[in-house]
Amino acid sequence: MSGNVYGYVRVSTKEQKEDRQLMALQDFPVLEKNIYTDKLSGKDFNRPRYQKLLSKLQKGDILVVTSIDRLGRNYEEILLQWRIITKEKQADVVVLDMPFLDTRKSGRDLTGTFMADLVLQILSYVAQAERENIRQRQKEGIAAARLRGVQFGRPRKVIPEQFWQLKEKWEKRTISSREAARQLSIAQNTFLRWVNGK
């Protein structure tokens, strides 16, 4: 007797749409009631819908995902989840955009399992290396932009003329930093930052 077919969808932010993943899973086909969706960051696996799906998964079931990065955000996480699903739960995994990552095809024979695990390790490593390369390129891009004088974040407020008189009063202790900030209509920490030349 064949088991249940489940699907898992993850989008990283609440604004991202899951339609493409849902359509791909329904085409597999996975019944809509068996599709679990998390609209959360993938930085950890305390995702409620994923955890619920994992608790339902039994030997002989199939878990379908559109891509391998739905299982995790880095090399270790993906391998851990793969091990839990295929070894502990003894369920099959189907990765739609990588047809060779389909444990149903390898069956339970040693060579098939070894090949699927080997391919998974290589892909997980490549995916993580690419993320690290992207992060490095972003860092280098930001550093280069700073050297060109590009300012990041909100533009700094222009220091008004009145500040210098209030600073002098504050230094003579005739006014508090809170009162000076109130008169300038700024936050107290902004006033103190200006005082310290930052």
Strand 62-65 vs strand 92-95: parallel, antiparallel, or unpaired? parallel
* In contact, 175 and 140? CB cutoff 8 Å: no
Copy the structure tokens of residue 18: 């899951």
For the four alpha carbons of 35, 39, 40 and 41, in that order, the dihedral sign comes to: positive
Identify which of 14, 13, 128, 18 has the alpha carbon closest to the alpha carbon of residue 65: 18
Annotated catalytic residue 12? yes
* In contact, 30 and 17? CB cutoff 8 Å: no
Q: Secondary structure of the chain: what % helix, strand, coil (to 5)? A: 55, 10, 35
Which of 12, 55, 124, 176 is labelled catalytic? 12
Distance CA 164, CA 138 (A): 39
Cα 151 to Cα 20, 136, 144: the distances in Å are: 37, 20, 11
What does the chain come to in residues? 198
Catalytic sites, residue numbers: 12
